Structure 1
Amino acid sequence: MMNDSSVATKALFEIDNYIDELVKKIELLSYVNPINIEEEKQKFFASKYLSDPNFLYPSIDFDKFNLHREFFSQSIEQIEDTRLKALYEEIIYCYSGLIQCIETIGEGKKFYYNSLRSFGTPTEQDVENAKFILHFDSEDEDAEMFTPKYSCEEAEKIFRGYSEQYDFSFDIKHSSTMGAIAMVLNNIKTLVINKNHTFSDNEMNVLTNHEIGVHMVTTMNGLLHPLKIFSHGFPNYEETQEGLAVFSEYMSGNLTIKRLKELAYRVIAVDSLAKGYPFSKTFRLLHNNYDLNREDAFYITVRAHRGGGFTKDYLYLTGLKKIYNYYKEGKDLGVLLTGKVSLEFIDDIQYMIDQGFAVKPKHYTDSYLQNKNTNKMVDFILESLK
C-alpha cells in the first residue's frame, strides 16, 4: 500500500491535483460546437447545398499560452514510480494537444491537423467496415418504437426512473442550444437534455443505457479514486468510453441497424474530411450518394466539419468493435468502468488498484450483467467487422 509520507507519493498527488485544476478549463466540446447551426442550416438548404456554412464559435476564456506553460512546468521527475511517471508524461502531452485543438477552432486546416493529432482518422479498413454496414436495410422507420412521443420533461422522468437502480444522484438540465439530443457533462455531474427534441421509445432505451448506464456510471466511479486522472480522463479515453456506451445499447437489446448505420455515416463523413472535401461535398456525398435524409446528413456533416475538421466521430464504431471483441474474449468489463479510462491502459489501471492509488468500480453498468440482444443481424454485423 502507498506510504503517504513519501516524497514521491506526495509529488504524484500534487501533480495529479494540479493537472485536475488545469483540465477543468479545457472542455473541448464547450468550444467546438457552433453557436449558429440553425441559421446556417437554413442558408445552406436555400443555396441548394452549394455554399459552405459560416459557423461561429464561443469565445475562449483562458490564457492558452499560459496554460501550456503550466502543464509543462510540472516536476514529473519527482514521481519515482517509472510506470506512473511515464503515464503522467503522456497525460500532459495529451492535454497540451487538446489546448492546441481549442486555440485553433475555426481556423480551418490548423484545427484539422491538431484534431488529427489528438484523435486520428479512419483507416481504409474502418471505411470498408462503414460501407459494409450501409449495405443493410434499416428497420421500418414508421415502427412504433421510432415514433416521437416524449417531451423533454417526460424524458427527464424516464431518466430519473431508470437511474433509481444506481446508487448516485446527478443534476438534469434542459438546453435549446445543443447538437446532441442528450449528453453527460462529466465535470459538473449533469445530464443535459435537448429541449427542442421529441423522444421515441427506442431513443429513450438507447439514451438511458448509453448516457446513464455508462457515461454517468464512469463519471461517478471516476470520482472515488485517490487520483483524479480517473475523473478527468486518460489519454485517448474517448474511443473506449463511446465504445462502452454503444456496447451498453447492444447488451440491453436496443442496438438497431439504423443506429449502426448512423455510426457508419459518421465514419464516411470524417473520411471525406480527410480526403479534403469541403462541407457541401461531404453533405452531398451522404445525401445524394448514400440516400441519407437531408436533416441527418446536415447534422452528421456539422459534427465532422465543426471547428475546421473534427475527426473524433469515427471512434464510435472502432470503439464498439474493440469493446465487443474484448467482451467476447471473456475479459473483465469492470476495470473499464473505473472512470474515463482507455483500453490501452488496462494493465496500468490494475497496477494502480494493486498499489492503492485507485479502487475497484463501485457502480456497474446494469446492461452488462446479461446479454439481451436478440437481433441476429446486429450480431452478424459486429462479428463481421474487421
Structure 2
Amino acid sequence: MSASDPLDIARALPLEEIREACDSADARLNEVARKFDYLLLLSPTNTHEAMDDWFAAGCTGDPHFHYRDLDFDPSELRRELHSIELSHLQEPLVEGLLLEKRQELDLQLTLLENRCSKDFLLASEQLYGGVSDELHDTAKAILSRVAKAGRSKQVVDAEALRDHALTIIERYREQDPEFDAEVEIRDDVTGLLVSYPKLMIDSDARVSLRRVDPLLSHEISIHMVTGFNGDCQQFSIFKTGLAGYEEVQEGLGVFAEWAVGGLYAARLRLIAGRVIAVRAMLDGADFTECYRELRKACGMGRTTSFKLAARVYRSGGLAKDAIYLRGFFRVMEYLVGGGDLEPYWMGKIAPIHVPVVRELAEKGLMNPARLRPEFLNRPDARKRIEDYCNDPSPQKWLSTESDAWTQ
C-alpha cells in the first residue's frame, strides 16, 4: 500500500479533523435541503375547491390544481449542491451517505423543475420505483377480500385533532424537554403533513375518533420522533432523511397504526387503492380513468377516489403513494425474520443503511435514539407484534374488524 493511499491518510488524520470535515460537508448539504420543502411544493393548495369544481363539471378532464410558487431557482440550487466537495472526507461511510443524499436532492430538484410537465412522471418513477406485479396483485387481493366496514359516527375536527396531538407531544416532552414539536392548522394542506418540527393539519380535516390514535402514532411517534432523534445526531442528514428512507419510514408509519390496533378495513383498503392508482398512472391512465377505476373496480366513494387520485396525479404524477403498502410489507417481513427496529429510531434511514448506522455508532459518530415510539411500551401492541412474528398471516393485518376479511 502506497503512502498516498486514502486509507493510510485516514488512519493518519486525527478523528477530530475527520469529524470537522464531515460536519462541514453535511452542514452545506443541509443548507441546500432546507431551502425547499419538497413535498409541500409538489402538493396542490386547492384540492377541496378543485374537487368541487370537477364534480360540478361532470367528472371529466383534469382538475385544475394550484401550486405554491417556487421562491428559488432550482438550477442555482443544483449548482450550489454540486459545488460541495465530498471526496476529501476520509470517512468512507459518511462520504457515501452524503453522495447518495446529494443525488436524491438533485432528483428532487429535477421534479420541482418539471412540475406539471410530461418529464415529471419519469423522474418520479426513478425516485420512488414502479409497482411490481406481485405488489399490484396483493393490493387487488386486499380490495377483493377485505370487505367495506361501516363508518364511525364519532368524528373529530382539526382543532380536536390538534389537541390530541399536543397531548401526545407533551408526553414525549416529559421524557425529553428538547422535543420541540409544533402543530399548525392550515388551509393549504390536505390531510396531515409532517415537516419536522411541524405537524400540519388540514383545516377541513374530519377524522373518525377511533382513527385518531393510529393516525397520530404514524405521524408523531414515527415521523416526528425519528425527525427529532435525527436532529440530535451529529449529521443533519439523519433529520432530513438518508437517500431512499421514505419507503421504510411510511412502512413504519403503517406498522404503527397496526401495532396500536388501528389498521381498520377502510385504511387497509385505502393504502391498497393507492397502489392500484399509481400502477394505473404509470400504465398511462389519465386522471378520469384512474378515478373511474377506483370507483368501479375498487368500490371506493367518490370523495375518497378523487382525493386518492389527486395525491397520485399531483404535479404531473407522483409515484410515492405505492410505498405505503410496499414499506409495510417490508417492515413486517423484517420483524418476522428477527430484525431489530432500534436503528430505525436513530434517524430517518433506509434498510440498506442499518449496518452503516451500526458501524458509525461503533466509531462514536452516531448517538442512541433519545426517544422511542411510545406505543412500543404498550402491552397490547407488544403482544400483537409477538403474535404476528410467531405466526404471520395476512388476516392479521386487520386490527379489530375480523368480520371484514372474507374467505
Task: State the secondary structure of the residue aligned to 2:278.
Answer: helix
Picking from 209, 224, 242, the partner of 1:234 is 242
> Is the Cα–Cα contact under 8 Å of residues 247 and 323 in structure 2 kept in the other structure?
yes
Q: Which amino acid aligns with 1:102?
A: L
Picking from 246, 259, 262, the partner of 2:267 is 259
Q: How does 1:144-293 map to 2 (within 5 A)?
A: 146-166=152-172, 167=175, 168-180=179-191, 182-186=192-196, 189-293=197-301
> Is the Cα–Cα contact under 8 Å of residues 254 and 324 in structure 2 kept in the other structure?
yes
Task: State the secondary structure of the residue aligned to 1:134.
Answer: helix
Aligned twin of 2:141: 132
Picking from 19, 22, 38, the partner of 2:29 is 19
How far does the alpha carbon of each residue in 1:16-36 deviate from its partner, in whole angstroms, 9 at most, with x for none?
Answer: 000011001232112111123
Task: State the secondary structure of the residue aligned to 2:199.
Answer: strand
Offset of 1:372 from its aligned partner?
Answer: 5.1
Higher mean C-alpha displacement, 54-63 vs 164-173: 164-173
Q: How does 1:63-78 map to 2 (within 5 A)?
A: 63-78=73-88
Offset of 1:73 from its aligned partner?
Answer: 1.3
Q: Which amino acid aligns with 1:261?
A: R
Aligned twin of 1:302: 310
Matching of residue 349 in structure 1 with residue 357 in structure 2: yes
Offset of 1:217 from its aligned partner?
Answer: 0.8
Task: State the secondary structure of the residue aligned to 2:155.
Answer: coil
Q: Which amino acid aligns with 2:111?
A: C
Q: Which runs of 5+ in 2 are unaligned?
A: 1-10, 399-407
> Is the Cα–Cα contact under 8 Å of residues 258 and 397 in structure 2 kept in the other structure?
no
With structure 1 as the length reference, what TM-score do the two structures score?
Answer: 0.91
Matching of residue 55 in structure 1 with residue 65 in structure 2: yes
> Is the Cα–Cα contact under 8 Å of residues 93 and 360 in structure 2 kept in the other structure?
no
> Is the Cα–Cα contact under 8 Å of residues 57 and 106 in structure 1 kept in the other structure?
no
> Is the Cα–Cα contact under 8 Å of residues 242 and 320 in structure 1 kept in the other structure?
yes
Task: State the secondary structure of the residue aligned to 2:87.
Answer: helix
How far does the alpha carbon of each residue in 1:273-316 deviate from its partner, in whole angstroms, 9 at most, with x for none?
Answer: 11111111100110122221100000000011010000000000
- In the superposition, relative to structure 1, how do residues 299 and 20 fare at CA in structure 2: closer, same or farther (>3 Å)? same
Q: Which amino acid aligns with 1:380?
A: P
Offset of 1:193 from its aligned partner?
Answer: 1.9
Larger radius of gyration: 2
Task: State the secondary structure of the residue aligned to 2:183.
Answer: strand
Picking from 117, 123, 140, the partner of 1:114 is 123
With structure 2 as the length reference, what TM-score do the two structures score?
Answer: 0.87
Picking from 93, 96, 102, the partner of 1:92 is 102
Distance 1:91 1:169 in 2: 25
Q: Which amino acid aligns with 1:281?
A: E
Offset of 1:371 from its aligned partner?
Answer: 2.9
Q: Give me the identity figure in percent.
A: 26
> Is the Cα–Cα contact under 8 Å of residues 214 and 261 in structure 2 kept in the other structure?
no
Distance 2:336 2:353 in 1: 19
Alignment length, in residue pairs? 376
Q: Which runs of 5+ in 1 are unaligned?
A: none
> Is the Cα–Cα contact under 8 Å of residues 26 and 99 in structure 1 kept in the other structure?
no
- In the superposition, relative to structure 1, how do residues 44 and 321 fare at CA in structure 2: closer, same or farther (>3 Å)? same
How far does the alpha carbon of each residue in 1:192-232 deviate from its partner, in whole angstroms, 9 at most, with x for none?
Answer: 22221232222212122111111111011011111111011
Offset of 1:169 from its aligned partner?
Answer: 3.7
How far does the alpha carbon of each residue in 1:313-356 deviate from its partner, in whole angstroms, 9 at most, with x for none?
Answer: 00000100111111222221111111111111111111111111
